[in-house]
Amino acid sequence: MNLHIRLLKSLYSTAAISHFRFLGVGSTILYILALAFLSMIPVVTLFVLNLNQRNTSMDNFQNYGLDPEQMKEFALSMEGILPIVLMVVYLAMYILLAGSLFSGISVLAGLGLPFSKILKKKLTYKHLWVMSCYSITLPVFLLTILFVLNVHLPFSFLLFWIVSSLILLLAIKHIPVKKIESGS
Give the integer Cα–Cα distance in Å for 77 and 48.
15
CB 167 within 8 A of CB 14: yes
Task: Quickly list H helices, 119-155.
Answer: 125-135, 137-148
Q: Whole-model pTM?
A: 0.80
Give the integer Cα–Cα distance in Å for 144 and 123.
31
Give the integer Cα–Cα distance in Å for 14 and 172.
8
- 9 Cβ neighbours under 8 A, 6+ residues apart: 16, 17
- pLDDT at position 94 is 93
First to last CA, the chain: 40
In the chain, which stretches have pLDDT less than 70? 51-66, 68, 75, 178-184
